[in-house]
Copies of this chain bind each other. A is one copy, B any other.
Amino acid sequence: MTARRTTEGPAARSGRPGRRPGGPDTRGEILGAARKSFADKGFTATSIRAVAREAGVDAALVHHYFDSKDELFIEAMALPADPRQIATIIIDGPRDEIGRRIATVFLRVWESPDGQQRMRAIVRSIAGSEEVARLMREGITQLLLQPVSDALDVPDAPLRVSLVAAQLMGLAMIRYLLELEPVASADLQTLVDRLAPVLQHHLTG
């Protein structure tokens, strides 16, 4: 859902000693350093400056490729969409249709050309690594669950939102990894129609 900047950066502008200029895969190297920093220190304690240090480049070069730490996280985790945009779509609009908006936006993202493949990779890496699990938990909480939870404005909103996350995560697991029928081959509209009232109940019931 976000445009990706794939152009190469301004080579060797900083000129400071010890900082490498932008090379042919500077962007990839910054992402690798970001993954390492996020995993070592967690989402909150990681800064653009720390990622730049880890990658051996100037912080300005990191900023050339990524607007913010949030964007760096989204790209480093290869999320199929920007969770901040998803949060906005969920929050904006009538409260009594929030379940339907959630079901629609997630299924559209996951069923996009590379969405299924990315979801499979994400579930696999959460299951395979405690570091990735921790990182994903922190990042998704900060960028998606927390904003939605704040907008709901009820005391038990975090619990409600995390049960919605459970239903969606389970759907992804069953449709894309376990391929359990009939969920695996159900059409999108059927799934949206089934999920909408249940997600609505979790949030406002």
Q: Interface residues, chain A, CB within 8 Å of chain B?
A: 123-124, 126-128, 133-134, 136-137, 140-141, 145, 158-159, 162-163, 165-171, 173-175, 177-183, 186, 190, 194-195, 197-198, 201-202, 205
**Given known contacts A201-B197, A202-B194, is B174 in contact with A162 (CB within 8 Å)?**
yes
Interface centre among A137, A167, A195 (most CB of B within 10 A): A167
Residue of B nearest to A166 (CB): B170
Residues in B whose Cβ lies below 8 Å from that of A170:
165-171, 173
Residues in B whose Cβ lies below 8 Å from that of A173:
123, 126-127, 166, 169-170, 173
Interface centre among A141, A145, A171 (most CB of B within 10 A): A171
Interface centre among A127, A137, A166, A182 (most CB of B within 10 A): A166
Q: How far is the CA of A163 from the CA of B196 in the complex (A)?
A: 12
Please give the distance in Å from A143's CB to the nearest CB on chain B. Answer: 13
Q: Are B167 and A182 in contact (CB under 8 A)?
A: no
Q: Are B128 and A178 in contact (CB under 8 A)?
A: no
